[in-house]
Structure 1
Amino acid sequence: MKKSVKILIITILVVLLIFIPIVGSYNSLISLEQNVNTTQSNIDTQMQRRLDLIPNLVNTVKGYATQEKSIFTDIANARSKLSGATNVPEKADADNQLSNSLSRLLVIVESYPDLKSNQNFKDLSIQLEGTENRIAVARQDYNTSVTQYNTKRRSFPSNILASLFDFKEKPLYKASNGANEVPPVDFAH
Structure 2
Amino acid sequence: MKPLAIVGIILAGIIILGGTALVSKSNTIITTDAVCEQMAGQVNSALQRRLDLIPNLVETVKGYASHENETLTAVIAARASATQVKLDASTLTDPAKLQQFNQAQGQLSAALGKLMVVSEQYPNLKADKNFQDLMAQLEGTENRIKIERDNYNKAVTALNVEIRTFPGSLVNSLMAHVKERQVFQAEEAAQAAPKVSFGKSAPAVPAAPAPAAGGDK
What's the TM-score, normalizing by structure 1?
0.90
What is the match of residue 57 of structure 1? 57
Q: What amino acid is aligned across from residue 107 of structure 2 in structure 1?
A: Q
Q: 1:13-52 residue pairs with structure 2 within 5 A?
A: 13-52=13-52
The one-letter code sitting in structure 1 at the alignment partner of 2:122 is Y
Gaps of 5+ in 1: none
Q: How does 1:132-151 map to 2 (within 5 A)?
A: 132-151=142-161
Contact 2:114 2:194 (8 Å CA) reproduced: no
Residue 69 (structure 1) aligns with = 69
SS of alignment partner, residue 185 of structure 2: coil
Q: CA deviation at 1:29?
A: 0.5
5 Å-filtered alignment, 1:1-189, equals 2=2, 5-86=5-86, 87-88=91-92, 89=98, 90-164=100-174, 165-177=176-188, 183=194
- Higher helix proportion (structure 1 or 2): 1
Larger Rg: 2
Give the secondary-structure state (helix, strand or coil) at the position aligned to 1:151: helix
User: 1:161 deviation in Å?
Assistant: 1.9
Q: Deviations over 1:71-102 (max 9, x none)?
A: 22221222122212132413322111110000
Decide which moves more: 6-15 or 114-123.
Answer: 6-15
The one-character-per-residue Cα deviations of 1:15-39 (angstroms, maximum 9, x if unpaired) are 0121121111101100110111111
Q: Deviations over 1:17-63 (max 9, x none)?
A: 21121111101100110111111111100000111011111100011
8 A contact 2:61–2:119 mirrored in 1: yes
Q: TM-score, normalised by structure 2?
A: 0.79
Q: CA deviation at 1:179?
A: 5.9
Distance 2:64 2:50 in 1: 21
Structure 2's unaligned 5+ residue stretches are: 93-97, 197-201, 205-217
Range with bigger deviation, 177-186 or 23-32:
177-186
> CA separation of 1:61/1:28 partners in 2, compared to 1, >3 Å: closer, same or farther?
same
